[in-house]
Structure 1
Amino acid sequence: MPTDEETFKKDVLSRIPLRDEPPLPPDWLHIEMLERFRVLRFAPIKPSMNVLEVGCGAHALTTVPLAHPIGETGRVVAVELSRWHFFEEITSVAGLKHRIIPLKVDAKKLPFPFKAFDLAVLVHGVRSLKNEETMVTVFSEMLRVANMVFIAESLPIANNERQRAHLELYNLREDIFEALLGEKDDLHYLPLERLKELVETAGGEIIESGTFEPGLPHYLAYIPREYVEQIKNGKKRAELLERWDRAYEKWKAGAEHPPVGWVLAEKGE
């Protein structure tokens, strides 16, 4: 990337206020954005690029690190269907709102009739796509509208106790949402080889792939205990509460990003 980490911290992260959202630490947003910045070092981002981001989410965690290196003549079109709550506030205080075009659409059917982007990006959003069929559909759409596609997601791998603490609490989320809402969300992380297979199923040709260790704390496995308490099925509620209590004790002692896998692809012939 054309900007180094210290510049990103000084020019962008320093503008974003700390947050009061216990049990998350006040700087959780800064740390999560810094992790995305490190992930994006593996993407071929250049100044003046026209970039599509799929699944920008309420906190613009990847949008802000994307909008910084493309410069004043670049643009990020940030696609999200429903999670916009803090997006405008965060992109504004970061000083990057003018480089970003938010677009409320379903990524399964993007409203672009031709290749409109130099690069399409999906970072830590694969887990929100509900099932593998939707993953393939979204990947196919990204390949259709962009010259290259960069996808990154955490891996189901723990190399130390702090990474295990993250995975143990995170892996409850799929079961909790299914029991609470009747549908899966925050799916278990996929192995890198499976992610690559799904990209190829979508019509992609892998240019490059790899893994790396972010080397940062990770807070987003957290889900309030109150969510679990609302599960109507008594047996399931009791089981998940017991698992939540056990996992939360480990998580609050310190959790770390597991390794991240990434894939760079283009549409195959």
Structure 2
Amino acid sequence: MAVDKSRWRFFEGVTSVTGVKHRVIPLKLDARELPFPFKAFDLAVLVHGIRSLKNEETMVKVISEMLRVAEKVFIAESLPIARNERQEAHLELYNLREEIFEALFGEKDDLHYPTMEELKELVEKAGGRVIESGTFEPGLPHYLAYIPREYVERIKDGKKRAELLKKWDRTYEKWKNGTEHPPVGWILAEKEG
């Protein structure tokens, strides 16, 4: 099952290329209230999605629902760790996204990457228990942090637009000289008790 495929721009292409297109049932619904009355899955997976849930309350509710419908939950999320200048450049440009989206749309989106401790706290608040966790270097393309300058140019508040354009220009200079995706943290959890 793939919940809310609208957030995954390349859903059709990825599922076709990987050969799982006919094995995945796409659903577009609110993951805070899944339509399954019992544990229906062995594993529920949330990859690079925590930061798109906009606030802690929603994060906890979604993880709680995943724990309710699955035996185990796997969460993977980029971490705010820079082990070199290229990862630092990625983080700096990525971290502008939250402020840009808030200025454009009046609400936060693409929140800053959470720490491993914050991820574990979210799981615990959702009624889960961390079984295993770790980090790895994903080797993902550097362009994942990129946000077009045109987004910033559309901000109506002139003072905020000028401030963010200055930040964007400064961080983009670092980004275009070479970036690297930061480490990813992963957690395997089950419902407490």
Q: Give TM class, smaller chain.
A: over 0.9
Task: Report the CA distance between 1:216 and its aligned residue.
Answer: 4.2
Q: Write the distance in 2 (CA, Å) between the matches of 1:234 and 1:190.
A: 30
96-105 or 236-245: bigger deviation: 96-105
Q: Indicate which of 176, 179, 186 corresponds to 2:100.
A: 176
For 1:123, the equivalent position in structure 2 comes to: 47
Q: Indicate which of 165, 168, 173 corresponds to 1:241.
A: 165
Q: Indicate which of 158, 161, 174 corresponds to 2:82.
A: 158
Q: Write the distance in 2 (CA, Å) between the matches of 1:82 and 1:94.
A: 19
Task: Report the CA distance between 1:133 and its aligned residue.
Answer: 0.7
For 2:11, the equivalent position in structure 1 comes to: 87
Alpha carbons of 1:174 and 1:118: their partners in 2 closer, same or farther (altered >3 Å)? same
Task: Report the CA distance between 1:176 and its aligned residue.
Answer: 0.1
Work out which structure has the larger RCO, using CA pairs closer than 8 Å and 6 or more positions apart in sequence.
Answer: 2
Alpha carbons of 1:154 and 1:89: their partners in 2 closer, same or farther (altered >3 Å)? closer
Q: Write the distance in 1 (CA, Å) between the matches of 2:7 and 2:83.
A: 32
Q: Write the distance in 2 (CA, Å) between the matches of 1:265 and 1:90.
A: 26
Task: Report the CA distance between 1:244 and its aligned residue.
Answer: 0.5
Equivalent residue runs for 1:172-251 within 5 Å: 172-251=96-175
Task: Report the CA distance between 1:213 and its aligned residue.
Answer: 1.8
**More helix by proportion, 1 or 2?**
2
CA contact (8 A) 2:5 2:11 kept: no
- Is residue 2:22 matched to residue 1:98? yes
CA contact (8 A) 1:81 1:106 kept: no
Q: Write the distance in 1 (CA, Å) between the matches of 2:177 and 2:156.
A: 30
Whichever residue aligns with residue 194 of structure 1, its letter is: E
**Percent of aligned pairs with the same residue?**
80
Task: Report the CA distance between 1:81 and its aligned residue.
Answer: 6.1
- Listed as ranges, the gaps of 5+ residues in structure 1 are 1-76
Task: Report the CA distance between 1:85 and its aligned residue.
Answer: 5.0
Q: Write the distance in 1 (CA, Å) between the matches of 2:83 and 2:127.
A: 33
Q: Write the distance in 1 (CA, Å) between the matches of 2:8 and 2:119.
A: 27
1:94-137, CA deviations, whole angstroms, 9 ceiling, x for partnerless residues? 43211111011110111111000000000111110001111000
1:173-232, CA deviations, whole angstroms, 9 ceiling, x for partnerless residues? 000000000000000011101110110010001101111222444211111111100001
The 4+ residue runs of structure 1 with deviation greater than 4 A are none
